[in-house]
Amino acid sequence: MSTVTLTLENAIAVITINNPPINATSHAVRSGIVDALDQIDGNDDIRAAILICDGKTFIAGADVSEFGQPPKAPILPDVIKRIEAATKPFIAAIHGHALGGGLEVALGCHYRIADSTAKLGLPEVNLGLIPGAGGTTRLPRLIPVSEAVSMITSGKPISATKANEIGLLDAITHGALGDAARDFAKTILSRGTPAWLLARDPIDAPSSAQWDDITSATKKKARGQVAPLAAISAIRNGIEHGPDAGLDFEREKFIELRDSDQSKALRHIFFAERSVAKLPELKGVEPNPIHQVGVIGGGIMGAGIATASLLAGFDVTIIERDEAACDNGRATVEKHIAGSLKRGLISQDRFDALMASLSTSIDYAALSHADLVVEAVFEDMAVKHDVFGKLSLHCKADAVLASNTSYLDINEIASRCINPQRVIGLHFFSPAHIMKLLEVVRTKSADAQSLATAFEFARALGKIAVPCGVCDGFIGNRIMSAYRKHCEYMLEDGALPDQIDAAMVEFGFPMGLFAMQDMAGLEISWATRKRLAPFRDPAERYVALGDYLCEMGRFGKKNGLGWYHYDDNGKAQPDPEVDALVIAESAKKGITRRDFTSTEILDVILGAMRSEGDKILAEGIANNADAIDVVMVNGYGFPRHKGGPMFMTGNED
């Protein structure tokens, strides 16, 4: 079948794009649209045209195979201008996703109708870009400028309902899109071709002072990313200097950003996230079907895993030690799902159905039909052995048994289990129902089907699954332990907690290491250090400051005292008592303290990340450097627009 086909139905022409999987704006698509336009404009019997797509979606982006290649005519901005200048009214019929260049094509059409489940967006900022085919100039002339700013600077798609409310759509259909588009076309035959968007005035343009406020708020959210601010400049330019100047400015900025380090980094992590879980050894391996999921432990992590599983459509059973713990686990899950209800992400009927799919029990026999079970109990090997022993007895033979341990040796856990080939690690990140990252830990005995099932489970949960081998801390926690150690060295050598955290935030992390520890709870890492104490090299430099804080009852934000002091509103403040403790420890060890610049602090942190990453690669714990970058960006707040520590290593001057 041709990539673009043209059919005639009475006075209506239908241009159909068929370029799976996302109907990307490839050269063949662009050329096909222009050829169809020539035929339509030359046929006096045609009075209107519909642009529609086969498959699961409308045009959902650019052709990634053309990234980095010289542009090949006709380029997308010219195709859109050609649609806009058509002598017959054009209707974009949207289903699935209209993203990036796809939405820009729809903006070039004179009318837009969408399926009620469609999503529309301009996500270019997520790749370090801005719309490059007129999006920043046309969109503010169709919807209020504030809405256009939000869509373009956030990169987040909006629903068809929202799009209709703000004027982005002319109609929504709940039925067959093609039929609805044809019916709509008949209603506009007498109207003629409406004015181009470029000929319209912007809607509710901000004042100069309001633009300053918009720019300031965008800069704060961007945390060092340049594309959102460039988008603001492009939108404002098109409004204040007119559409022609706006289109020229937008294209200039788009090309400038396309060649920038930030865009290269963002494109790197975009593709890395989509390739990291594609293991050659799993090609052709069918995962086990999953219908019922078991979760051992209904605490913070277990309840989060249960919530994610319910939202993915699975029946879930939580096993706890007693009925009171079962009730607490259920209440936590209900709170999470009620949050989705409150935000309008699910309906009341959906909420009721999800809660009906959750059961709790103190009897492991309740897992006799579970297809996959995730253990999320206390980090103690004896406790883990007890749990997996019970799972071996009560679960069916092909059920995949997973541990959510952060540090413990899953090979040892598997060794005590019947059918160790079905034991794997599924290391979730808290809060488990929100965080996208999931480390899938391959034990030495895990078989291909268990791994395939784990990756399918991750996909169903909407997680970014990163395969890794067994070691203390796997990929993410191992690297964090390494740079935390060096941050602690800097404390003894002359830095203070708030100085290190400030340097990290300035670099682009959402929060610094010590603030993050306070949020997680200092007793967690304290328990790990105590567990590893018998195996610690006596010659290794050890910083006991975190231990001292826990011994003082300072466990972090939860009790208002950790590395920081927290006021009644939960805001962190540097604590003179902690600073004095740090300085005293330096004196006790005979260390002469010195000043650290932000650059020096980041050099130490990034150096520690890269060094540990190199060791992880050498040991085969990670398949490649991309896996490390994906983990650090999605699990530890490494700034996305930097691409990850390993990417930065290969892209420094």
**Secondary structure of residue 314 in the 3-state scheme:** coil
CA–CA dist 476, 439 (Å, integer): 9
> DSSP character for 576?
H
SS3 155: coil
Q: Residue 406's pLDDT is what?
A: 86
Classify 480 as helix, strand or coil.
helix
Nearest to 204 by CA among 239, 173, 179: 239
Structure tokens given for 614? 């190199």
Q: What type of residue is 358?
A: L
Determine the pLDDT at residue 530.
Answer: 87
Residues 6+ apart with CB under 8 A from 65: 26
In order, the DSSP letters of 407-457 are: SS-HHHHHHTSSSGGGEEEEEE-SSTTT--EEEEE--TT--HHHHHHHHHH
> Please, what are the averages of pLDDT over each run of 10 residues along the chain (653 residues)?
89 95 94 96 93 96 78 93 93 97 97 97 96 96 97 97 97 94 91 82 95 94 94 97 96 94 94 94 94 96 97 97 96 96 92 97 97 93 93 94 92 90 95 95 95 97 96 94 96 97 95 94 85 87 95 94 94 96 97 97 97 97 97 96 92 58
CA within 13 Å, CB half, 413: 32
- pLDDT score of 71: 82
pLDDT at position 533: 86
Residue 207 burial (CB count, 10 A): 8
Per-residue confidence (pLDDT) for residue 653, from 0 to 100: 47
Beta carbons of 488 and 545 less than 8 angstroms apart: yes
| Beta-carbon-side half-sphere exposure of residue 11 (alpha carbons within 13 Å) | 13
- Other Cβ atoms closer than 10 A to 297: 24
Q: Helix, strand, or coil here: 589? A: coil
Which of the residues are catalytic? 104, 124
Instruction: Report the predicted TM-score, pTM, of the whole model to 2 decimal places.
Output: 0.90
User: What pLDDT is attached to residue 525?
Assistant: 82
Of 472, 479, 469, nearest to 622 (Cα)? 469
Backbone angles phi, psi at 158, to 5 degrees: -115, 160
Q: Quote the crossing angle between the two packed helices 513-520 and 522-532, to the nearest 10°.
A: 90
Rg (CA), the chain: 28
Sorted by sequence, the CB contacts under 8 Å of residue 276 that are 6+ apart come out as 464, 465, 466, 467, 623, 624, 626, 627, 630
Rounded to whole angstroms, how far apart are CA atoms 45 and 14? 13
Distance of alpha carbon 648 from alpha carbon 569, whole angstroms: 37
**How far is 101 from 83, CA to CA, in rounded Å?**
13
Among residues 399, 450, 454, 388, the alpha carbon closest in space to that of 427 is found at 454
Q: How far apart are CA 98 and CA 238, in angstroms?
A: 23
Q: How many helices (H) and strands (E) does the chain have?
A: 26, 19
Residue 575: the pLDDT is 96
Residue-range domains of the chain with CATH: 4-259 (3.90.226.10), 290-468 (3.40.50.720), 476-620 (1.10.1040.50)
